[in-house]
Chain A
């Protein structure tokens, strides 16, 4: 997935910028596969590949923030300049507290989820089995199947370098129930003065 090398290079360039007194970079790249189903059909099946890089700088006891979704070669410099400009224009003193947690890398990939991300047919078949159960019960199946691959980098100029990559967020839910379409019932409108849900009779006018 996700252009790891380009992302690592950009984060490295930002952390070692040499212009700010302190720098924090948070980068998050995500590949999300989501299958939503309702009324016994898949109505939303999407793949989203997203990226967000945020840099926070402190310069002369002033803090500025800027963010981007681009990994273009000149983007690191442009992003840093924006953050520094924002810091320069800030009023009053504020400081950026940096954690000193050293270097730690976490890899928490789930083989099952990894496979599921790349297997469109398998995801659809899981949903199909839920729908089938719903239909057998003469009910409608509603729910979502979500599989996400994610990479997060948190680095700062105090030497903290935290990396996390994994595949998480698999949530499967189904809510089969019957008769939702008749939700607007007399019972649900108990106490409603004069408004009949399926009547073309106009209720009495509430004129002053």
Chain B
């Protein structure tokens, strides 16, 4: 389809565009849902389309369509839109010129999940379900698998042409325990499932069948566990919960379009404004956050972002100091930086906007046991149950499915309905230490929402268990 994209771009240039890029995306998805011992749904979907983004008279225009027979319509619409915007915008867009890129990115995969027989896929969930159903208090079970294949082509008037192909696999098992008025939910491996750029081998690695009994037992144990008492305590946040903490309180807050005010009408702004760049100690010295789409298995991994910027690692926070933002070619030019390579669209129909890639808290050098020893007494939080955070990403509240007491450096009794809350920079300045590379892993998050019309992006966060001092905690029914 290179010729088709090249044709779009050339036609746009002919009509007065000073820059144009075209993308084609084909996506295939398979979703499998099992509920209470029955295969509830298998859904296969395919979608394919293309788009054209043009720069005319210093303003962008964008048009997308599934109809490959009418490229001229898409060109004239994109150019017309850009020209109309240019009449309103007094300031022309300034952005970074980019050297042409070319090549192919192939995501990692050992076993193609679309070639694994459906009864084998369903069988994994049904077997895990059967184990969980053996516990009489487990009254409700829900499990899913999702497979996602995407091929993308990008062509620009700067001479770039890149192709990308990858497969993503993920899933989850979940049990709900009920007794009297008590209800507790336990999920594995994370409350949104876990996903990777990988094939069926990742589903095997997660071993749903092997973890089913443990998940069910924990849900049942939570029914009779006490509520976490209100306290100010040292807490260890385990990887899955910490991945969402990074996502909400660092990832979104460092999106440069939010910082510049472009998302103010919908997704919100950010407390990490430009006057804080290079000055704000966002966190303690143990806090190092990067955007790194070069990680091999992350949902935020790619060869080039959706405006052709090559994947590269960028420090957002270095030893606690805010040093950069997630950005694209347009927003980064406004602050004199180069693009962090975070321009992403959730499909062929969408305009790329600033999104997270793999935004990770880099590992430290402790073990979980050492963190517990350092904590002395406190609590350990596992995976997310609920959360809220304000539109500036400053005040937050997170609830987890379970927490454990840490007593004299050892893991103690289980608590239900645990939560913790704080103010973003105060919280991250309370970070004492992060566990080392052996406990660090990348968690896939498939449902990051942003933009108008809403775009749902697949991102990832590398985390390891981390110790925070003097955090407000509590529990509620």
Tell me if B448 is interfacial: C-beta within 8 Å of chain A: no
Is A198 a contact partner of B280 (Cβ separation < 8 A)? yes
Among residues 76 to 134 in chain A, which have CB atoms less than 8 Å away from a CB atom of chain B? 82-83, 85-86, 89-92, 94, 120-121, 123-125, 127-128, 131
Among residues 188 to 207 in chain A, which have CB atoms less than 8 Å away from a CB atom of chain B? 188-189, 191-203, 205-207
A-side contacts of B99, CB under 8 Å: none
Is B351 a contact partner of A183 (Cβ separation < 8 A)? no
Complex partner residue of B469 from A46, A82, A192, A206, CB under 8 angstroms: A206
Is A183 a contact partner of B269 (Cβ separation < 8 A)? yes
Q: Are A91 and B39 also in contact (CB < 8 A) when A34-B452, A36-B265 are? A: yes
Among residues 417 to 470 in chain B, which have CB atoms less than 8 Å away from a CB atom of chain A? 423, 425-426, 429-433, 452-453, 467-470
Among residues 33 to 88 in chain B, which have CB atoms less than 8 Å away from a CB atom of chain A? 38-49, 59-67, 77-78, 80-85, 87-88
Is A51 a contact partner of B425 (Cβ separation < 8 A)? no
Is B44 a contact partner of A191 (Cβ separation < 8 A)? no
Residue on B nearest A52 in the bound complex, by CB: B47
Is B38 a contact partner of A191 (Cβ separation < 8 A)? no
Q: List the one stretch of A8-16, A60-68, A150-158 in contact with chain B.
A: A60-68
Q: Are A205 and B423 also in contact (CB < 8 A) when A36-B265, A47-B62, A65-B42 are? A: no
Is B394 a contact partner of A188 (Cβ separation < 8 A)? yes
Which of A83, A120, A193 has the most B CB atoms < 10 Å from its CB?
Answer: A120
Is B432 a contact partner of A207 (Cβ separation < 8 A)? yes
Complex partner residue of B276 from A63, A127, A184, A207, CB under 8 angstroms: A184
Minimum distance in angstroms from B354 CB to a CB of chain A: 11
Is B43 a contact partner of A67 (Cβ separation < 8 A)? yes
**Count the A-B residue pairs with Cβ separation under 8 angstroms: how many?**
230
Tell me if A175 is interfacial: C-beta within 8 Å of chain B: yes
Q: Are A175 and B88 also in contact (CB < 8 A) when A46-B62, A195-B281 are? A: no
B-side contacts of A180, CB under 8 Å: 261, 264, 269
Taking Cβ atoms with an 8 Å cutoff, the residues of B that contact A are: 38-49, 59-67, 77-78, 80-85, 87-91, 118-119, 122, 126, 234, 260-266, 269-276, 278-281, 284-285, 320, 349-351, 353, 374-376, 392, 394, 423, 425-426, 429-433, 452-453, 467-470
Taking Cβ atoms with an 8 Å cutoff, the residues of A that contact B are: 3, 32, 34-36, 38-39, 41-52, 54, 63-71, 82-83, 85-86, 89-92, 94, 120-121, 123-125, 127-128, 131, 140, 142-144, 146, 173, 175, 180-184, 188-189, 191-203, 205-208
